[in-house]
Amino acid sequence: MSATTPDEIGDFRQEVRDFLKENLPDDMAHRGRNGFLAAREDSLGWQQILAKKGWSVPHWPEEHGGPGWSAMQRYVFDEECYLAGAPTINIGGVGLVAPVIQAFGTQEQKDRFLPPIRNGEVFWIQGFSEPSAGSDLASLRTTAVRQGDEYVINGQKIWTSHGLFGDWNFMLARTDPEAKKQAGISFFLIDVKTPGLTIRPIESLEGSHHLTEVFYDDVRVPVSNRVGEENKGWDYTKYLLFNERAFYGAEAPSLKRYLAKIKTYARRETVDGRPLIENCTFATRLAELELEVMAVDMTVSRVIAHGLTERNGGNAVGSILKVRGTELAQKLTDLLVETIGDYGAYAYPDTNEEPEMRDMPHAGPNYAPGLFAELIYRRAASIYGGANEVQRNIIAKTLFRF
């Protein structure tokens, strides 16, 4: 880690706060603070605002337009953005596919794909899971058959987040059906407007449609859109999944935001004429969760400050953070919904999906919409990014060689 002193971090934090105060639009922040997932125009719009300042890709190396921040600065930046209610950016693009292109892509791919990601011009969606390849991702069956300068792709993907926002799709397909599971997979970049590609929404428990299915019916993809070597896609995927777990797994900033929300609402909500927070059982539950969140956050700081790699036990720490972080997100969103009492039982429309509902009056306190949706969304946290049970397999195998 570069020598960033606490004072410098304090100054940096202030600089970020000042920037957010001036540049984060109020309506965007309002939507960001409620529980619903960010809309496409907010994700990309915010990315564009950040790009003008040169802050849109904090984790990228400087040669690709990163700001050259220390790990601690990046963390502070993420945290301040969350706390201010900034929309979540398109992680599929900035955080997942871009590092793979940077590490394994051709110069032409870098020149073509990286600038639009940096500038918030395109939205990337992931095509990994399939109906019969979830936790066992390597058993995927979608095929890519080479025909001259093209691959012809057939099959189906599922659980693609924000599929309906997508411009480009990074995905895995089997290029060698004879090879052992992991060995015959390649990594492709596909324009979602390519003929034969269709995206269908899945209705989630909370009523939103951010999850989708993607169907490939003789989709023709130029060979130049394959990343790295043929049949080596699994290696690139492991790299991507490691990044995902290590940097996003614990989602520590969002855990802290939940704590802050619970505290704010529990002061306003009353039980028997007294603020909810004065209820001893409630306060103790909250305190116990806060202690664990702070310990998870400290773990993230250790990971960041000391540089985590696959070689120094990083893999297990990534999985440990993923498991404990997602469990906490679930406990916190449970408590968050309990905080609003009766209104925890109400259905609220997702105003990102139904913008016309944005300024309509609704039942309950102004912070009630979205909390239930957030709780349901977080039930997926222990499933996505590799189910927590798979993470436990990884931890046991990495640490104990069982």
Partner 1 sequence: MFEEASPDLTDEQRMILDGANRFVTEICPFEKRREATKAGVTLDRTVWGQMAELGWFGLGLSEEAGGFGGTLEDVALIAETLGRGQVLEPFTMCAVFPARLLVGIGGQTDLIEKIVSGEKLVAVAHSEPDARGDVTRIAVTASPEGGGFRLDGLKSLVVGGDHADVLLVTARLPDGSLGLFRLARHSESVTTEGTRLADWTSGLDLRFTSAIAERIASGDAMAHALAAARDEAVTMLCAECVGAMDGTIQVTAPYISERRQFGVPLSSFQALQHRMADMAADLTIARSAVLRALSFLGAPSAERAAQVAGCKALVQRLGRWTTQQGIQLHGGYGITEEYQVGQYHKRLLVTDAMFGSRDVNLSRYTGHMLSRMMEAAQ
Positions marked active-site:
244
Closest contact distance (angstroms) between CB of 298 and partner 1 is 4
- The angle, 0 to 180 degrees and rounded to 10, between the axes of the packed helices 252-268 and 314-339 is 20
State the minimum distance, in angstroms, from the CB of residue 7 to partner 1.
Answer: 16
* 387 is a site residue for partner 1 (CB under 8 A): no
* Cα within 13 Å of Cα(67), Cβ side: 18
Which segments of 165-204 are extended strands (E)?
168-174, 185-191, 197-202
If you ran DSSP here, which 8-state letter would residue 88 be given? Answer: P
Residue closer to partner 1 by CB (options 223, 260) is 260
Q: Does 393 bind partner 1 (CB under 8 A)?
A: yes
Contact residue for partner 1 among 287, 345, 347, 363 (CB under 8 A): 287
Q: Is 240 exposed, middle or buried, given 0-12, 13-18 or 19+ CB atoms closer than 10 A? A: buried
Round the CA-based radius of gyration of the chain to a whole number and report it: 22
Which is it for strands 150-161 and 143-147: parallel, antiparallel or unpaired? Answer: antiparallel
Angstrom CA distances, 381 to 36, 131, 133, 238, 239, stand at: 15, 18, 18, 19, 20
Among 30, 146, 306, 358, interactor with partner 1 by CB under 8 A: 306
CA angle 132, 103, 79 (to 5 degrees): 80
CB of 248 to partner 1, least distance (A): 18
Task: Tell me: does residue 91 bind partner 1 (CB under 8 A).
Answer: no
Q: Does 16 bind partner 1 (CB under 8 A)?
A: no
Tell me the one-letter amino acid at 43.
S
- Binding test (CB under 8 A) with partner 1, winner from 68, 312, 354, 358: 312
Residue 67 is encoded by which pair of tokens?
């700001």
Torsion of CA 223, 200, 159, 172, to 10 degrees: -10
- Please give the residues from 315 up to 374 whose contact with partner 1 meets the rule CB under 8 A: 316-317, 320, 323-324
- Interacting residue with partner 1 among 50, 114, 137, 296 (CB under 8 A): 296
Alpha helices in 311-368 (DSSP H): 314-339
Q: Return the structure tokens found at 42.
A: 């907010």
Q: Which stretch binds partner 1 (CB under 8 A): 14-22, 66-74, 314-322, 359-367?
A: 314-322
Least spacing, CB of residue 314 vs partner 1, in Å:
9
Provide the b/e sequence for 46-57 (b: ≥16 CB within 10 Å): bbebbbeeebbb
10 binds partner 1, rule: CB under 8 A: no
* 136 counts as binding partner 1 under rule CB under 8 A: no
**Residue 310 makes contact with partner 1 by CB under 8 A:** no
| H/E stretch holding 348 | none
Listed ranges 47-55, 192-200, 296-304, 350-358: which one lies at the site for partner 1 (CB under 8 A): 296-304
| H-helix or E-strand spanning residue 74 | helix 71-84
Which of 29/399 has CB closer to partner 1? 399
Stretch that binds partner 1, among 73-81, 156-164, 238-246, 303-311 (CB under 8 A): 303-311
Query: Is residue 178 involved in binding partner 1 (CB under 8 A)?
Result: no
* Closest CB 100 distance from partner 1, rounded Å: 25
CA atoms of 331 and 333, how far apart (whole Å):
6
Count of residues that bind partner 1 according to CB under 8 A: 39
CB of 156 to partner 1, least distance (A): 29
User: What gap in Å lies between CA 390 and CA 137, rounded to an integer?
Assistant: 11
Per-residue binding string, partner 1, 228-267, x by CB under 8 A, is -----------------------------------x---x
Q: Which range binds partner 1 by CB under 8 A, 25-33, 200-208, 213-221, 299-307?
A: 299-307
Beta bridge partners of 221: 151
**Minimum gap (Å) between residue 73 Cβ and partner 1:** 19
> Does residue 135 touch partner 1 according to CB under 8 A?
no
Task: Find tokens 């089997």 and name the residue.
Answer: 174
Written as six digits, the tokens of 155 are 């099959």
What are the residues binding partner 1 (CB under 8 A)?
A: 263, 267, 277-278, 280, 283-284, 286-288, 290-292, 294-296, 298-299, 302, 306-308, 312-313, 316-317, 320, 323-324, 389, 391-393, 395-397, 399-400, 402
